[in-house]
Amino acid sequence: MSLFDDIHTITNEHVKDRQSAHRYLETVCAEMDALGRDIQAVRHIEEDFAHQQIDQLFDTDPGQRGPLHAVPLAHKELYGRKPETGAGWLYEGGSASCQGERAIETAHVIKKLDAAGAVDCARTVSVEYALGVTGHNNYAGTPLNPWNHDYICGGSSSGSGAVVAAGIVPVSLGSDTGGSIRLPAAACGLIGIKPTHGLVSRSGVFPLSVSLDTVGPLSRTVRDSAMLLTQIAGYDSEDPLSIKVPKIDYLSYLDRPVDGIRLGLETKYFLSGTDSDIADLISAAFEETEAFGARLSEAQIADIDTTNPLNVLMISSEACHVHIDRLVERHNEMNPQTVMRVLTGLSSTQEIEDRLAATRAGLAARIIEDIFADIDVFVTPVWPFALPTIADSDIGAKPEAAALMQHIGHNTRPVNFLGLPAIVVPIGFDKNGLPVSMQLVGKPYSEGVLIALARQCEKHFSFWDNRPPAG
């Protein structure tokens, strides 16, 4: 039995019967407790609950078993779980200011994974309130990148990135408001999907920005992310922004050809805002996609630069609604960076917030029509510079790093603001041996196309022929 197996291998080889499923869970929880805690990625392990889930799963009719039958998974600590009996799981949002708080409901997507047979065994570290992109967290711990422990995992789904890259679980749910799935996925060499606006319910997930929050998977393989997305997508009346979209089996896109797909490399905003060593790697990878039939062109997106600061304004304004009362009471228990980011939204009046929402919708409608008139997918870097070390990106210790760290979301925030789907795919390594990834951004609800394209990239770049030395 080895770590680093994908869902298909786990279901077919490791959890074939009740006894082997319990044994495999014990192995995963032991790794979570040892390696997962060594890399500071784990918040809490719920092994007893998970064993109960396995017993319930094997009590059901074999014909009723789901595609994730008895597969142990662990998710970002923002995902609530309230078991039928007993207390809810810890639900602290990565913050000392929420110490001891417990979930009062189970997140909608966690219920969907339960229904698919997944076993829920742990929660992983989040940046405080999911409001930060480096992964630093003085309270819950700063996860160490499995590729090199001196480096950050990115955030805010930092713990999820770390446990998947370390091979402990095949996939983990994160959340993404300005890049918080894609940045850790890219930093850890993973596939990460930020779904289209309204496709996946956020109910029961610790909120940051009601308009911008999205939830999705981080995994080592495209197939595993496609599997998770297929399970969690769907309308939920409890999420005010949920949208009814016909059911899609994203796994069926894995084999679909992408010949003739029109890819655009956006040069004016994304590439020019990225350090040349990373930009050169992305440009070279873009050229290589011609090998599997993509038609390439340069692309420019009018007004895309306006979306970045507006995303920052929307996050801070809406985070203020969620957290201002707690901040008044317990700001001394919060990271000073979190306090600053929340307070930035306080002076936005309702009039400004209404204008911001209307401007967002107007920009989205116009820019989407403009971009996708001539291309199907646009390609960008994810990180705008080589991944920094934990020490160099610690704004608390190095205030002069703040401006540079603010730039981390340059390539990811516009995608949230426009509501578009994106997938990140690792394509190689930087000068320090850390993963480099490109971001594929598609039309609304084109996750299937992005998965087909990402699968071709996965085969072409063969990134996971390597393993993290520290994993």
Partner 1 sequence: MKKDADTIAQYYEKLATAGVHNALLEQTKQTNLELTEALLRTPEPDRIMSMNSVYQHYASNVQADTGSGEGSDR
361 binds partner 1 (CB under 8 A): yes
Asked if 271 and 299 touch (Cβ cutoff 8 Å), the reply is no
Comparing CB distances to partner 1, the nearer of 45 and 356 is: 356
Q: Which of residues 312, 371, 379, 425 is near partner 1 by CB under 8 A?
A: 312
What are the φ/ψ torsions at residue 72 (nearest 5 degrees)? -75, 130
Quickly list DSSP for 273-316. TS-HHHHHHHHHHHHHGGGGT-EEEEE--TTHHHHHHHHHHHHH
Q: Which of residues 339, 401, 402, 470 is near partner 1 by CB under 8 A?
A: 339
Asked if 222 and 258 touch (Cβ cutoff 8 Å), the reply is no
Q: Which of residues 30, 210, 296, 357 is near partner 1 by CB under 8 A?
A: 357
Return the range that interacts with partner 1 (CB under 8 A); candidates 159-167, 348-356, 373-381, 388-396.
348-356
Q: Is 195 helix (H, G, I), strand (E, B) or coil?
A: coil
Comparing CB distances to partner 1, the nearer of 237 and 347 is: 347
The residue whose two tokens read 């970045």 is: 308
64 binds partner 1 (CB under 8 A): no
Comparing CB distances to partner 1, the nearer of 54 and 363 is: 363
Q: Which of residues 3, 4, 8, 370 is near partner 1 by CB under 8 A?
A: 8
Asked if 443 and 195 touch (Cβ cutoff 8 Å), the reply is no
Asked if 216 and 192 touch (Cβ cutoff 8 Å), the reply is yes
Of 15, 50, 11, the C-alpha closest to 30 is: 50
The residue whose two tokens read 């064993």 is: 51
Asked if 279 and 242 touch (Cβ cutoff 8 Å), the reply is no
Contacts of 341 (CB under 8 A, 6+ apart): 131, 132, 315, 316, 319
Comparing CB distances to partner 1, the nearer of 379 and 452 is: 452
Return the range that interacts with partner 1 (CB under 8 A); candidates 93-101, 347-355, 388-396, 462-470.
347-355
Contacts of 374 (CB under 8 A, 6+ apart): 262, 264, 297, 299
Q: Which of residues 108, 182, 223, 410 is near partner 1 by CB under 8 A?
A: 223
Window 100 to 119, contacts with partner 1 (CB under 8 A): none
Q: Which of residues 97, 137, 157, 196 is near partner 1 by CB under 8 A?
A: 196
Comparing CB distances to partner 1, the nearer of 278 and 312 is: 312
d(CA 325, CA 254): 46
Contacts of 28 (CB under 8 A, 6+ apart): 72, 121, 168, 169
374's tokens: 């001539």
193 binds partner 1 (CB under 8 A): no
How far, in Å, are 1, 5, 198 from residue 131 at the CA level? 37, 31, 21
d(CA 271, CA 344): 28
Question: Smallest distance from the beta carbon of 339 to partner 1, in angstroms?
Answer: 7
Question: Smallest distance from the beta carbon of 46 to partner 1, in angstroms?
Answer: 30
Question: Smallest distance from the beta carbon of 142 to partner 1, in angstroms?
Answer: 23
Question: Smallest distance from the beta carbon of 77 to partner 1, in angstroms?
Answer: 25
128 binds partner 1 (CB under 8 A): no
Sheet holding 171-176, edge to edge: 171-176, 214-219, 191-194, 422-429, 435-442, 377-381, 262-266, 295-299
126 binds partner 1 (CB under 8 A): no
Asked if 138 and 40 touch (Cβ cutoff 8 Å), the reply is no
Q: Draw the binding track, 389-428, toward partner 1 (x: CB under 8 A; -: no contact).
A: ------------------------------x---------
Q: Which of residues 346, 374, 399, 432 is near partner 1 by CB under 8 A?
A: 346
Q: Which of residues 100, 260, 291, 328 is near partner 1 by CB under 8 A?
A: 328
Return the range that interacts with partner 1 (CB under 8 A); candidates 113-121, 165-173, 293-301, 444-452.
444-452
347 binds partner 1 (CB under 8 A): yes
Comparing CB distances to partner 1, the nearer of 192 and 421 is: 421
Question: Smallest distance from the beta carbon of 357 to partner 1, in angstroms?
Answer: 7
Length of the chain: 471
Window 244 to 303, contacts with partner 1 (CB under 8 A): 244-249, 251-255, 303
# residues contacting partner 1 (CB under 8 A): 69
210 binds partner 1 (CB under 8 A): no
Comparing CB distances to partner 1, the nearer of 103 and 232 is: 232
d(CA 423, CA 226): 11
Question: Smallest distance from the beta carbon of 50 to partner 1, in angstroms?
Answer: 26
381 - beta bridge partners? Answer: 438
Q: Where along the sequence are the contacts to partner 1 (CB under 8 A)?
A: 8, 196-198, 211, 223, 226, 241, 243-249, 251-255, 303, 306, 309-310, 312-313, 316-317, 320-321, 324-325, 327-329, 331-332, 336, 339-340, 343-350, 352-353, 355-366, 368, 419, 443-445, 448, 455
